[in-house]
Structure 1
């Protein structure tokens, strides 16, 4: 394995990266004196990828929830379940699906090589039967029902339905009971063959392992498999609506909550820059939102002191392949006042940030501390790797880049997010008797 050494001397870390002949990107970060090893294998395929052009150039459409369904089914084989194998090796295993990625992982303090072989094999050797697919529909249907009753989840996806009313990003990652009813083994095999190509995937291993041994395991495992040649980067076709004209500016829903929930959403209309420029844009926005809506911001202090909000007040930036948005939310009976104050801050964001040079200096130090602290977690290191989205940036790169940011950078990024102003409000109100 021809490994490229990427040194981070300021953190005393060395990352080793290569792209195998079949296209799989491999990242290895050995750490001396660590007993635990964590590995995650990710495909650049998630819930929003319901349309794609296959290798023959034909436009294909699949039911919402297919990526998540695939995540579930890959563990189950004809004569065993991968979860059971990991258990026999003393390892914990799991998986998760997001809008644009599906990841499979394990954590272990023993049998690292066997666990890694198992991870590579169960992800790369699919088995779906009509009987097991039908059985899984009931299991996932129960999961969907559980999220239907989760008020915070419903607040979040209520906002997404406002911001992206015609796009798959507005549909629950697991799909709906109606959409998963349309999934069969053929759909799963077709999507697997399309998106689980090694060239569309990456592997990140971090912890207490021997670099040479693990490199040899990966090399031998991949060389022994007959995998179709890499295909075009199909997942760059996101099919998302570029216009803000369809955004629903206000809606609400009644549920069994004791206090109303309110969320203001901002749809990012400008394309996210490619590579490390995209990482810089993300960091600038995160810092800008922190200055405007963080716990030390004038807005939060003002609303907290007069009782408009409590510590449920929160903000979030979501940035993935093909889209980005920000949301500000709180549980509060004074939701109208909160919404008015937040929107006023958004209108005055440029002027507020111009006077925040001292606050930015402190915020950068806080962010740097968080990124350095994240380096103590094997999971944070591996899960924080975004692959090609930010040109293979790691948490170490985040820590380096945040120190370079200027106030002008932050203001320009926030101005870009807020112009044109594509805002929406979504509320969940208590059921009235």
Structure 2
């Protein structure tokens, strides 16, 4: 096993790539009662168009990755939910734009739960009848989200920012798109993206590293896998320009919901460069819009924002965007004050004192988060698939300069890269 020690965090990460290509990462944290395991494939909702080594080019319906996630729990002769429950484990799964994860946490029966996680994810079973039944279940989920104001304001913003990239397509697809899914499509995508070489197993908590690695090796050695497919993901070229400046939608809400987003125009970064961009942007947001800023206090005192106000930056090798928003009685005034502050900062920059304070705060927040096995497990593979490392965040944060943040403010928060999404009651239009 390879070992990497992060002295600053007092953590040692163990890693081994198995003969079938599976990357296994183990992070022991002795003294913790809970252990958390995540089995993740680098396959998300945006991976609907791809080419295989034999030259076949496939375009599958929107929503297949999410549909697959649902179907992985169905087995011909076992009840995965019941087995996890009998073992005292909490279990879940999720699909994002770029990954699908299956996970559990437990305080007991760790070995049995680990085998169960590995086995059910690596033993697909799809039947015509169960696929048709699932269409109804997921269709209800899609319709439920269509009526959710928080989800609608978010997805409409993505559609406003992105013209062609499939990040503008909802993760679950549409009722129409999932109607075209059958078991052959599911098996095809499973065999393409669920090969061990495209997956990561990560565990954090209280366990013996040598014993756990041996358990995983034995489990994988007992299974047969074909050669790893050579996957070429195909994405349309995304124009620099946003798709739509302003989108409004009517749903029953007490206060209008308003999100504004800024789209990155240059992508393709990996490793430390991607990490630096992420945290330079997050520092900029804290400096300009955080709860300790004058703007935040003024807007809160004036009733322009509520406690729902928030902001975040999300990025991948292929995309990056900032979202700022929340509930507000006056969306236009809200947008005006936010954009005015961003324009001011582009001209005036930020003070060294404020910058150092924000950086210390961000480092402190990250260090506290590392006391949570849930945080570490859920974030680790996200960074891993982007060619970065969760445990390099603090060294990168320490290196980021005020000049770097100011350049990021000027580069990222351009008016022409901004889209606006509003959801309000029909009567409020």
| TM-score bracket for the superposition, by shorter chain length | over 0.9
User: Displacement, 1:258?
Assistant: 1.4
Q: Are positions 1:382 and 2:380 aligned together?
A: no
Q: 1:347 aligns with which of 340, 343, 348?
A: 343
| Structure-1 separation of matches of 2:420 and 2:383 | 33
- Alignment match, 1:15: 13
Secondary structure, counterpart of 2:366 in structure 1: helix
- 1:303 CA displacement: 2.0
Cα distance in 2 between the residues matched to 1:81 and 1:348: 58
Segments of 5+ residues of structure 1 without an aligned counterpart are none
Which residue of structure 1 aligns with residue 269 of structure 2?
A: 273
Give 1:122 shift. Answer: 0.9
Q: Structure 1: which 4+ aligned runs deviate by more than 4 Å?
A: none
Match of 1:316 in 2: 312
Contact 2:50–2:231 (CA under 8 A) maintained in structure 1:
no
- Whole-angstrom distance in 2 between the partners of 1:366 and 1:246: 33
- Paired with 1:59 and 1:167, the residues of 2 have a C-alpha distance of 18
Does structure 2 retain, via aligned residues, the 8 Å contact 1:130–1:185? yes
In the TM superposition, 1:227-238 aligns within 5 A as 227-235=225-233, 237=234
Query: Deviation string for 1:129-157 (max 9, x for gaps)?
Result: 10111111111112112211210100000
In structure 1, distance between residues paired with 2:69 and 2:315: 22
1:18 deviation in Å? 1.6
SS at match of 1:190: helix
| TM-score w.r.t. length of structure 2 | 0.95
Q: Which residue of 2 aligns with 1:172?
A: 170
1:422 aligns with 2:422: no
2:357 to 356, 359, 362: 362
Q: Deviations over 1:197-248 (max 9, x none)?
A: 111110100111111110101111111111111232434x4x1442133510
Give secondary structure in 2 for the equivalent of 1:348: helix
How far did residue 33 of structure 1 move?
Answer: 2.2
Tell whether the 8 Å contact from 2:38 to 2:103 is kept in structure 1 after alignment.
yes
How many Å separate the matches in 2 of 1:355 and 1:160?
A: 29
Q: Does 1:244 align with 2:240?
A: yes
Please tell me whether the aligned partners of residues 279 and 390 of structure 1 are also in contact (alpha carbons under 8 angstroms).
no
**Whole-angstrom distance in 2 between the partners of 1:362 and 1:151:** 35
1:329 counterpart residue number? 325
SS at match of 1:398: helix
Give ranges in structure 2 of 5+ residues lacking alignment.
none
Report the counterpart of residue 338 of structure 1 in structure 2: 334
Query: Which whole-Å CA distance do the structure 2 matches of 1:410 and 1:122 have between them?
Result: 45
User: Any residues of structure 2 matched to 1:74-223 within 5 Å, and which?
Assistant: 74-223=72-221
Range with greater deviation from structure 2 (29-38 or 302-311):
302-311
Sort the Cα spacing of 1:413 and 1:389 in 2 relative to 1 into closer, same or farther, 3 A: farther
Q: Aligned residue for 1:293?
A: 289
The alignment of Structure 1 onto Structure 2 pairs a total of residues equal to 427
**Superposition CA RMSD, Å:** 1.7
Q: Distance in 1 between matches of 2:372 and 2:110?
A: 18
Distance 1:285 1:392 in 2: 16
